[in-house]
Structure 1
């Protein structure tokens, strides 16, 4: 069983307070985020289930300020693209040391992800896989991207939130962390919630209803009020298949093995 309340100990010349809430906890899943905007975190991750789980020591979030590794007195982190072109590119000699610092805390299975619109699309399967890791390091890009040599040197996996471009990777990182943390043991109050929801079985989720039984002339489907759990399960499955086929034909084709 994992211990969620023991601090890991490593040799250091820097004194550490016993009350330091950011000190790594032994056996706890961690997210380490390399960003130019550390103040953007935890953001929404500090609220609701993920926020409560963080306070309870079920997971930890650490940010690494890319600017601290900047060059010259101005802490420059970028330069013009080799070969010309618009925009700026994050330098390898800035990003590299930042990744090395973050990875000095890594243990076990600990991938490095780069938030990139050209990466593999993030999905529920990847969230489940990350939840099985010991932690993850996320690099949030800015400007025109990161020097390719850094990605090659550290074997970094590029991941995309979707087929669109954002100004930076911070929001994408928060979304991916949220999707992963909720799958960690003890985070969801009802573990079954993660089983029946959209994408968990390759299908979109069935419709949900609650009180009142009638609202603006619309009633809850009778089968859900019948108490017949076999019929309810059958209805939910049929509705999941119907909604998936209508809204996500790509998922439906994959589910059918086409």
Structure 2
């Protein structure tokens, strides 16, 4: 995969891209990153990339020309590229979207500043508009890096074992079950006996139960779309009874 970041602040990226999984994925050949200052593509002699909005109003608007030309310059082919606009008005980013994007060969993240974008960028250049949530950041750089991290860790060889992320929260549709490691007894707080039993069927059952319980307590909305089995429904009855008894 080749991931491009179009930004006015390229100095924000090296620390993230040269650390942890992002660096490992590059070293393994799973991904390449390019950071481009799209100011270099403006035809304005003063290197301006923004202007006042037609019709008046506060703030400045990014012009279409520098971004259209920058995207054309850095990508291989118009047909295969996925051009992502970071925008609070966009679709809410989810794990499902990360999994979808991880199948692409080339991603372009447009990181804007100022009041907004010329609408022709949305209509004729980008393929996706994404938002991290219902809040506003100074620019799109942090959001783009966050999404890129979420996508890259799904690539083959990025993490090591494929199973490492298959049970992540949201990957299965449920929140992830609790994890424990050594020592088995720490200050009187013991690891659940089932995890020490060596009985893999019982461990799998316990993990599913705990995932359902954590999801029911923290994100019950996820259960509305999760394909519950007959066994899951029985577990949920038991979970509800357990929680009611604790109240």
Shorter-chain TM range is 0.7 to 0.9
Structure 2, gaps ≥5 residues long: 229-247
Q: CA deviation at 1:109?
A: 3.3
Determine the C-alpha separation between the residues in 1 that align with 2:34 and 2:77: 12
SS in 1 for 2:116: coil
- Alignment of 1:38 onto 2:10: yes
Structure with more contact order per residue of length (Cα contacts < 8 Å, sep ≥ 6): 2
- Of the candidates 1, 21, 44, which is equivalent to residue 49 of structure 1? 21
TM-score (norm 1): 0.83
Instruction: Say whether the 8 Å CA contact 1:113–1:137 is kept in structure 2.
Output: yes
Q: CA deviation at 1:106?
A: 3.9
| Root mean square deviation of aligned Cα | 1.6
- Alignment of 1:142 onto 2:85: no
1:10 is aligned to: none
Instruction: Say whether the 8 Å CA contact 2:2–2:33 is kept in structure 1.
Output: yes
- Of the candidates 237, 242, 249, which is equivalent to residue 220 of structure 2? 249
SS in 2 for 1:178: helix
Aligned length: 228
Determine the C-alpha separation between the residues in 2 that align with 1:194 and 1:107: 31
Determine the C-alpha separation between the residues in 2 that align with 1:159 and 1:255: 23
Correspondences of 1:163-182 after superposition (within 5 Å): 163-182=134-153
SS in 2 for 1:255: coil
Structure 1, gaps ≥5 residues long: 1-28
Instruction: Say whether the 8 Å CA contact 2:84–2:126 is kept in structure 1.
Output: no
TM-score (norm 2): 0.87
2:53 is aligned to: 81
- Alignment of 1:190 onto 2:161: yes
> Which consecutive segments of 4 or more residues in structure 1 shift more than 6 A?
none
Structure 1 stretch displaced more, 62-71 or 196-205 = 62-71
